Amino acid sequence: MAAPLRIAGVVRRALALCAGMAAGAALAAGAYDCQLPGGSDVLVVGSDIARRFPSIGSACAAASWAPAAEVPPPAWPALPVRVIHARAPRGAPEARRAGATGGGDGGSVAGISRRADALAPLIESAAQRHAVDPHLVRAVIQVESGYAPHARSPKGAIGLMQLMPATAARFGAATEEEILSPAVNVDVGVRYLRFLTDRFGGRTDLVLAAYNAGEGAVIRHGYRVPPYRETLDYVRKVLDLYPAPGG
């Protein structure tokens, strides 16, 4: 009788081990399908943002998934760390792309809200930490929110740099309160710009397109600016406000 008991014990331990491994795999692959307000696409994210950010009004359901293999990016040439300047759209108003009205890198740029001056230390600090041109950060904030720190979009984007909760969580802002903090919002937004800069080889037009439409949209369109009216307008508006180096 001892032998069958030993065998049964081994089987139970094996089953327990398999169950533990399955649970670990489910945890690693666990995700949520979240429908954001405004009819935006369903996102597959790693946390229940409906519970984490209740005021957003999202609806999330648990999902089991495995990330699909990504299309490898093109072999970009070696580029400097700083975000490069893309060519301005034909006919862009040169007056709006002119130099600063104040002195130095912290000065105001034509077309940028005067409220930017109060945020200059935050912008300069985040830009230096993440090696992104502060002029580009100012232009993005102007187009995204007009420097309104509590701005919210119908799609659920929050704050100065209009961060989606899933993106904010991915880059370090764990709560809605953190996303609404100007210091956190700017740091996370600039960190995301840095990530996109590395991913798209420093191509400012692609960085901006990905910031607006998502990384996947740029990749699906062959590493080009997606032909969406909103995205095309967004890229143009930001570049119109982004002063040319030495301009």
**Could you list the active site residues?**
144
For 10, the token pair is 């081994």
DSSP E strands, the chain: 30-35, 42-45, 59-64
Q: Give the Cα separation of 174 and 148 in Å (integer).
A: 21
Q: Which H, E and C letters describe 49-94, residue by residue? A: HHHHCHHHCCEEEEEECCCCCCCCCCCCCCCCCCCCCCCCCCCCCC
Are 189 and 212 in contact by the 8 Å Cβ rule? The answer is no
